[in-house]
Every structure is written in C-alpha cells, then in structure tokens.
C-alpha cells in the first residue's frame, strides 16, 4: 500500500486509547466514572497538541459494547434490539463525545487554540474473513463460569475463558481500509484533532449492488489505528495500555521489558509465542504492521507515560 506524502509542518501521530482505560474492569461503569477516567487520560494528548502535533485518536469500546449489547438484549421483549454493528457506531458516538468534550475543555484551560471533532468511521473488512466463523474478541465484563454459561444459554452468546474470568466473544475481522481517511487527513491539515475509528470503527463490506453494507463484528482498535496511521502517512503510532510496554517472557521469572526493538526481532519473539494471545499480541502485531508498511516508529506504553514514551524515555519503541 502506497503512503501519502506528508504535508510540510508538524508530524502526525495516531494515538490508540483502550476502552478499559475509560471503564476499568473493577468498576460498574457509571457514566460519571467514565468521564473522570477520560479526563485523567488526556495529559499526553494535551501536551502533544500544545507542541503542534497533528493528532488522530482511536479509542476502544470493549467494556462499553458489551454493556450496550446486554442492555439491548434485556430490553428485547419491549423494543427490537439493535445489531452489533449499529451498536459499535453508537458507542463511537457517545465515547467520542466524552473524549471530545473532555479534551476540548483541557485544551481551553491550557490556552491551546485547537478544536476537537468526532467522526463516526466505517472500516472495510472482507465478508469472507474466517473470523466470522471463529469469534475470539472479548467484550463486556468478566464473569464466573456459571454466569457465563447461563448468559450463553439465555441469549445465545459465545463465551470463552480469558485472563480474569469468562467473557463474551464476538467476531473480529482484519481491517482493510478506512472509508473516511481522506476526511480525517483534511481535518488534521487544519490542525483539528480528530477522534476516528472509535471502537475500532464500524465494520462494513463493499457489495457490488448495494455499496457499503454493515456487518456484525468488532474490529480490534489497535489494528484499526495502525491502518489509519498508514493511510494518513503518520510518523508515529502510539498505543496506550495498562503495562509499561512489551515484555519478553511476560509473567515468567525471566521477563524482560523491551525498550527499543527492531521489527525482525519483534517478529521472531512473536513467532516464539512470547506475547499473550488476547492481550499484548494484537498490539504488537498492529505496531509491527504499521512499521512494516513504512511508519517511522510505533510505541506501546502505559497510559500515564504517553508523553515520555513519545520522547523515547518510556515504553517500547518499535523501529525498522
């Protein structure tokens, strides 16, 4: 895939912000709690905006989309439930609203003359992606085995065991392209901060007769961020998470934090099974794919160390 030329001026960064950062798994997910966590998560973004970076933000929606599905299914006896793909768009709207409002307020307090917009974004996927036959993406909250199997029986869920308990799993196809990438690029050139591909974006496919058609799935937000960063010709992909960075042998007696790692070394560690299947591996593969396609660097860092990670003083930096 060819990369567009960067226009002169400040560099572009795409920042991937996890849904768990806004709704930690040990909380109920009250909206005031989510607003509070959103405000706490924006320090690095405000500093980068003040420095003049062009910024696109991609957020996750794992806990939130699980809650939305459950609300719909519990109310299905009185109102028709909405499908998964439509609910992804819904969460992109209201989570984007939280980030947009919180970030705009923070920028105004700092006297940074930048605007923030949320763009509901469509992500092209392959309708024949094998992921549709093998749901693996965990959403919602962790449950006990008994609760998970009861919900599976009651609502037809597919459930699987993940770190911390049992969770509902849904299809997660590979993102191929961002339908609205050109609009994001145009807004960035005007120094507008754009929240795009929220929840990984709403997955769609191209039908020869109907045009764009939605599908019921959830796209991994880190993979979507990597595709968006490539489409924008971004210099940096920053994936913010809840650990210091990428570890070799994570959780074992000889675990080692990787500060700077070349792409071929990262690929070798991935093939050796060093990264957790449902936790770090998708982030590592998304970061590696961005660099492989021409990105200068990808960074995986803890949420509160985002700014120092951009300066090379924290997290894991992946380069060619």
Residues marked as catalytic: 19-20, 137, 221, 283
Q: Within 13 Å, how many C-alpha atoms sit on residue 66's CB side?
A: 26
C-alpha distances in Å from residue 183, one per residue of 100, 186, 196, 295:
17, 5, 10, 20
Instruction: Quote the DSSP letter at residue 2.
Output: P
C-alpha distances in Å from residue 14, one per residue of 48, 54, 82, 176, 229:
11, 8, 30, 17, 6
Angle at which helices 62-74 and 84-110 cross, to 10°: 130
Helix (H) or strand (E) holding 66: helix 62-74
* DSSP-based three-state secondary structure for 214: strand
Rounded to 5 degrees, φ, ψ at 292 are -60, -35
Distance CA(303)–CA(296), nearest Å, equals: 21
The strand pair at 202-207 and 211-214 is best described as: antiparallel
CB contact at 8 A, 226 and 284: no
Angle at which helices 31-40 and 84-110 cross, to 10°: 50
To the nearest 5 percent, what fractions of the chain are helix, strand and coil? 40, 25, 35
């Amino acid at each position: 895939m060819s990369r567009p030329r960067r226009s002169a001026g400040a560099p572009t960064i795409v920042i991937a912000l996890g849904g768990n950062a806004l709704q930690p798994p040990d909380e109920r997910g009250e909206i005031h709690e989510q607003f509070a966590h959103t405000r706490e998560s924006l320090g690095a973004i405000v500093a980068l905006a003040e420095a003049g970076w062009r910024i696109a933000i991609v957020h996750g929606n794992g806990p939130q989309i699980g809650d939305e599905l459950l609300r719909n299914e519990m109310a299905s006896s009185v109102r028709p439930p909405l499908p998964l793909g439509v609910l992804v768009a819904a969460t992109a709207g209201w989570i984007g609203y939280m980030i947009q409002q919180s970030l705009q307020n923070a920028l105004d307090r700092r006297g940074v003359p930048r605007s923030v917009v949320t763009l509901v974004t469509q992500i092209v996927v392959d309708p024949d992606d094998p992921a549709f036959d093998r749901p693996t993406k965990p959403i919602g909250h962790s449950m006990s085995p008994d609760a998970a199997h009861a919900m599976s029986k009651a609502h037809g869920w597919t459930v699987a065991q993940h770190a911390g308990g049992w969770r509902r799993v849904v299809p997660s196809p590979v993102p191929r392209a961002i339908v609205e990438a050109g609009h994001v690029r145009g807004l960035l050139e005007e120094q507008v901060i754009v929240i795009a591909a929220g929840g990984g974006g709403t997955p769609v496919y191209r039908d020869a007769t109907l045009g764009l058609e939605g599908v019921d799935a959830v796209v991994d937000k880190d993979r979507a961020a990597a595709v968006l960063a490539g489409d924008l010709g971004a210099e940096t992909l920053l994936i913010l998470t809840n650990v210091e960075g990428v570890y070799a042998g994570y959780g074992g007696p000889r675990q080692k934090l990787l500060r700077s790692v070349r792409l071929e070394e990262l690929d070798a560690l991935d093939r050796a099974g060093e990264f957790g299947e449902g936790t770090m591996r998708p982030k590592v593969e998304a970061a590696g794919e961005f660099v492989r396609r021409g990105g200068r660097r990808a960074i995986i860092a803890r949420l509160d160390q985002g700014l120092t990670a951009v300066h090379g003083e924290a997290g894991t930096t992946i380069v060619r």
